[in-house]
Structure 1
């Protein structure tokens, strides 16, 4: 313990403050890693049996039962399926859009905490670099104060602070960035599987809407009742228009007719 205490307090108050900040970042990273291990379990994201239960209910037209199956097991998959079921009356395109929106929303929700691991992994080396810079400033200050006659003992404290904080920053940053990469790939895999299961569960909606109409389902011919005939206004008779008489034919020129004979 004495060796660890020497390392912690060797950099003075500035080094101690930087190490405490790195310790806080490491505790936060450890909490986030444990939280994501519990959150990104397969059964938490994709409960077993929900997809099949919803599909069977939709095949038989039992929409309330499909809705209840989703609500019994709250999860990412259930949220996405509920979005699709809510839009089934507006056509398959709206169902697909609702599923895509639900997947995007849940993916962003899962990535929100994982992004903090990336932030910690990027900040920790900068904090360690801050300790490195302050340590080197302290070391060169000793050299300047002694007018170039500073010995190794005078420079040791500043160099010690510079190295300790740098190592501390790397110790925090490397596991944080590694955990971020692993959890991000895990989220991508689970979201892709959720999309596949949602398409499989909601396929009966597409099949039902794409089914052609049966020959016997055509609407019957419209019949006119006597009441509708009485209620209809009478139609006016159409007067027939006689064609105009043809003009008399012109007489052709020729011999004049013979005169009438006188009675004998």
Structure 2
């Protein structure tokens, strides 16, 4: 019954008039018409941008360990200059440098203890690199659902307005209610897609840094196992 009424109403809509009205609507006007559900979507979008920018800066800083770093460490350890190696590690504020510094400070201990010490520092550094990534993933999944919820609420409001309308239902009333309700879905999908792309980009960057940390750690352990 409802579908029949909708079909009858939509056939009488002047499509040219509706399209001209939609063209005159700016994107900002449409966003304001999305209703109160646009507020949490706006908050999620700001949070996603903040997390992405902050993580990019952090990961860029973590990946700045120069290629010559391990070569210098190797030379100092082979010469027995442990204090010089520690000073060199302090000069580079990066996860790799902090892991190697822990290993250098444990030279003289059993090799297993050195490996465990480096591994513990590595776990802490990885946790720092992955900070808030799970929140960004949550935003990518929750934003579309919030948008859909806003659309459902908007459609309910539109049908209530139609039910309260006396006499024939205005096609303008129906069309405005529907396209306004769909704004939240579009906004939610937009925020969710951007957050999802940002999350995958950051995960890839973190994995590259972790591989670099693992390579440097293996290189350092091999150095300690070389015959003197």
Question: Aligned equivalents of 2:161 and 2:25: distance in 1?
Answer: 26
Q: Please give the TM-score of this superposition, normalised by the length of structure 2.
A: 0.80
Which residue of structure 1 aligns with residue 111 of structure 2?
A: 92
Contiguous gaps of at least 5 residues in structure 1: 212-264
Shift of 1:203: 2.8
Q: 1:24 aligns with which of 34, 38, 43?
A: 43
- 1:10·1:161 contact (CA, 8 Å) conserved in 2? yes
- 1:55·1:200 contact (CA, 8 Å) conserved in 2? no
Shift of 1:66: 0.9
Please, what is the CA RMSD of the aligned residues? 2.2
Q: 2:174 aligns with which of 155, 169, 178?
A: 155
Work out whether 1:79 is the aligned partner of 2:102. no
Shift of 1:61: 1.2
- Count of paired positions: 204
Question: Aligned equivalents of 1:79 and 1:147: distance in 2?
Answer: 74
Which residue of structure 2 aligns with residue 47 of structure 1?
A: 65
Q: 1:104 aligns with which of 104, 116, 123?
A: 123
Shift of 1:150: 2.8
Question: Aligned equivalents of 1:50 and 1:19: distance in 2?
Answer: 49
User: Quick one: structure 1 residues 120 and 112, their matched pair in 2 at CA, closer, same or farther if it must change by over 3 Å?
Assistant: same
Deviations 1:38-94 (A, max 9, x none): 2222x6334113222211111111111111110111211111112222333321111
- Larger Rg computed on CA atoms: 1
Q: Please give the TM-score of this superposition, normalised by the length of structure 1.
A: 0.70
1:97-246 matches, cutoff 5 A: 97-146=116-165, 149-208=168-227
Which residue of structure 2 aligns with residue 217 of structure 1?
A: none
Shift of 1:2: 5.3
Deviations 1:200-237 (A, max 9, x none): 134332225xx6xxxxxxxxxxxxxxxxxxxxxxxxxx
> Runs of at least 4 residues of structure 1 off by over 6 A?
none
Between 70-79 and 100-109, the greater mean CA deviation after superposition: 100-109
- 1:124·1:172 contact (CA, 8 Å) conserved in 2? yes
Question: Aligned equivalents of 2:32 and 2:135: distance in 1?
Answer: 29
Which residue of structure 1 aligns with residue 30 of structure 2?
A: 7
